[in-house]
Amino acid sequence: MATLQGDNVVVPQMKLERLLSMKGGKGETSYANNSQAQARHARSMLHLLEGTLDAMSLPPPTDTFAVADLGCSCGGNTLFIIDVIIKHLIKRFDASGCAPPEFQAFFSDLPSNDFNTLFQLLSPLTIKGSLEECLAADGARSYYAAGVPGSFYRRLFPAHSINVFHSAFSLHWLSQVPESVMDSKSPAYNKERVFIHGASVYTAQAYKQQYQKDLAVFLRSRSHELKTGGSMFLVCLGRTSVDPTDQGGAGLLFGTHFEDAWNDLVEEGLVDGQKRDHFNIPVYAASLQDFKEVVESDGSFSINKLEIFRGGSPLVLNRPDDAAEVGRALANSCRAVCGVLVDAHLGDQLSNELFDRLERRATIHARELVEHLQFFHIVASLSLR
């Protein structure tokens, strides 16, 4: 095992799916307290989600209606979306003259996800009979809830058991960093970088191939699990550039200042260059064409809607002109989504040093971040062929 200077603790290499999670708990750098932007983006896309639900053929109300949120994480956003989905479906059943069925919601994420924090947010179960009772049950939930730990890059549910799949802000996470990116003998070796943004065309191609492979497995798995007439609503980071090395907002979050913060540690002798080079963020912001090619090649799904949606900044700021607040928000946002990986790679002490330097750099470049940091999302509505 490689050792580092000081008292830093370094864990052995682990499979990404056993390690990756958004920052758990309810602290300042937790995902629960740094996902307000995702909530805002999700709310702005509700009309697209509801359009997907309206296009579905309703199953018999005697059947349990199953909804699964993939990549649920541990904040309140997933509960809000499930509530929106189920209340919208209740209205549809009522409009068709049918009493609502029983609803089952599955919250799924990797085993390392903080399911405890998520489940503590669940309201008490109250099953109501009429539309008015269902919609008026504030502070209660009208569905059965269960957690399903596992990677969505494999099967998670029995065949033909799910009516609706929802996944937001998750599918841009790859199942692994491409092996060639970590191989110093490969032309795709991402030397002196920790992300695809600004990398070589070989590195970009390796990331793209991993994304295509992962998305194909995702689609194949869901095609077995969806019931006849079932639908999927997917939201993931996207890009407007045809150049995969231009990762847009993801590049500003995981590249540039974050990468410079790693370089600071190297230059200060706290981390050696090879240690830095063996850390890469397993994220790929796809283009619409990237996504479309995989869906069409798989052939299991029809594309009902596919578009790039401008989501805005991932930073929620009370005072955008306060450079210190911008720097802190950028560091907290980055740490909330990739801090677990950094902690495992560097140990807690060096991880703190890294994010301190990121905050300083982001503070210096606060105006640029406020003006230019924005995310674009791929929004896709798919149904079984």
Complete domains list, the chain, with CATH? 16-384 (3.40.50.150)
Question: Residue 105: which pLDDT band, with cuts at 50, 70 and 90?
Answer: very high
**257-304 confidence digits (pLDDT tens):** 999 999 999 999 999 988 998 899 999 999 999 999 999 999 999 999
pTM strictly above 0.75: yes
Mean pLDDT (whole number) for 333-341:
86
Question: Residue 128: which pLDDT band, with cuts at 50, 70 and 90?
Answer: low
If you search the block for the tokens 């669940």, which residue do you land on?
A: 122
Most confident region among 32-46, 107-121, 155-169, 264-278 by mean pLDDT: 155-169
**322-331 confidence digits (pLDDT tens):** 999 999 999 9
* pLDDT reading at 201 higher than 60: yes
DSSP β-ladder status, 226-238 and 103-109: unpaired
Give pLDDT, residue 22: 56
Q: How far apart are CA 207 and CA 177, in angstroms?
A: 8
Q: What is the dihedral sign for C-alpha 91, 96, 101, 104? A: negative
User: What is Dmax (Cα atoms) for the chain?
Assistant: 70
Q: How far apart are CA 265 and CA 361, in angstroms?
A: 13
What backbone torsions phi and psi does residue 3 show, to the nearest 5 degrees? -115, 155
Q: Residues, the chain, total?
A: 385
Could you tell me where the DSSP H helices lie in 64-109? 77-95
Give pLDDT, residue 61: 86
Cβ-in-10-Å burial (0-12, 13-18, 19+) of 56 comes to: middle
Question: Residue 102: which pLDDT band, with cuts at 50, 70 and 90?
Answer: very high
Give pLDDT, residue 261: 94
* pLDDT reading at 153 higher than 70: yes
End-to-end CA distance of the chain: 50
Question: Residue 3: which pLDDT band, with cuts at 50, 70 and 90?
Answer: very low
DSSP β-ladder status, 375-384 and 301-312: antiparallel
Give pLDDT, residue 154: 93
Give pLDDT, residue 28: 59
* pLDDT reading at 83 higher than 70: yes
Residue 45: which residues within 8 A CB-CB, separation 6 or more?
Answer: 235, 309, 377, 379
Say what the alpha-carbon torsion angle 288, 291, 294, 299 is, to the nearest 10 degrees: -80
Q: How far apart are CA 125 and CA 121, in angstroms?
A: 12
